[in-house]
Structure 1
Amino acid sequence: MLKYEIIPVTPFQQNCTLFWCDETKKAAVVDPGGDLEKIIAAIENHELTLEKVLLTHAHIDHVGATKALSKQYNVVIEGPHKEDQFWIDLIEEQKQRFGFSYAESFTPNRFLEQGNTVSFGNITLEVYFCPGHTPGHVIFFHRESKLAQVGDVLFQGSIGRTDFPKGDHRTLIHSIRNNLFKLGDDVRFIPGHGPMSTFGIERLTNPYVSDQAVGINR
């Protein structure tokens, strides 16, 4: 069974997520943006063995502690999609702009694409390519639990920004409507910031991407 703990990190209160397999106690951390000591404390509190770091995209509030965490536990880094190499190359610029003095550049062991899976313990997550907020954004979906970690693609009542370099509003809407919502209205999701919601609620009420907002009558 998949278990999880949401760990808000950095001044941006980014939802770093600790996922683990309840049967094997093997774990993965999604988007370790910072506050490494909080992430380590959660891993130790649940007596877990970290197997890998997973990244939805390469904005610094999501990846700032990636290198440090992977070195601490000697684990691989998987994700994001190769199109986010653009943002990985800008780590030094991002850290100076936002004051993330601890952030280090890194090289993913594996870039991810639509249709890939990632595993830890007895848990397998499906990977969906969802560009728009960044060009190489991916999300992770656990079908058995109907739970997704969507990074900055979709939020409760909002969507990801597209005014950053290589962001694209139309692409983001397409990603949400064609990759996320098709997973099912009853899927709960953990966003990159803020509270959880379901795809069904956002499809009904989200002012940016609901059926009504895109001109679809249900």
Structure 2
Amino acid sequence: MTRRSERRRAAARVVVEPAEPTARAEPPGSRRPGRGRRWVTAAVLVLLLILVGGVAYAATLGPEQFAKLQAETADGAQTVAVGDTATVVPEPGWVVQPLVRDLIEWPPLPPLKDWSVLLGEQSGVLLLSPDQRLRVEVDVLPGSSDRAGLAWLREEGRGMGASGATDEDPGAPEVRDEMLASGLGVRHVDGPERIAAVVDTGFGIVTVRADTGREPIDPYRPAISALLESLSAR
């Protein structure tokens, strides 16, 4: 065997390994679209969080804060409108502001508030005594009938330890009828910390809810009586 043939055989046995493919060089800016999409997604999420936070604030804390900004101190002579049918004249030093109602309560989260105060469409007013311990809510009762007023009183009286409760139903309050010096009739139920009353102005039923929290309400009865006497038809 010649050397030439041996060289040919050796060359045939050699395994030629394929060269590794070279990675293509990415053109400049090829990764920017991916980064841009991430920035857009992050911006959308931030905007959604801001929107949800704004709606939550407007539905829970916003109405109360707005009502406090509208608060005024009474001078004892200015009449305050209660809806379209009645007025009340708070004594000097009382704080007057729009009444904000609770629509839904879901403890321990803040209650859902009525947005009507933000639109200036609320009918009730909130009165705070000069020492800020007595809270009086004055509003117009929807329906404005004697039956609706009596039902509202009984509902308010249940569970507040109203005096005069019957032995058969300790939670049932005694509804008392009186005549104000103004000539208007008033019905009320009394508890140790709260008084609820309805006054018929002749054009509608006005509800009054006076609450001292955990303080005895007896020292504030003269002030509550003065507020009831100041109620009149609008």
**Structure number, greater radius of gyration:** 2
Q: Same fold (TM over 0.5)?
A: no
TM-score tier by shorter-chain length is under 0.3
By percentage of residues, which structure has more strand? 1
Q: How does the TM-score come out when normalised to structure 2?
A: 0.23
Q: Which has the higher helix share?
A: 2
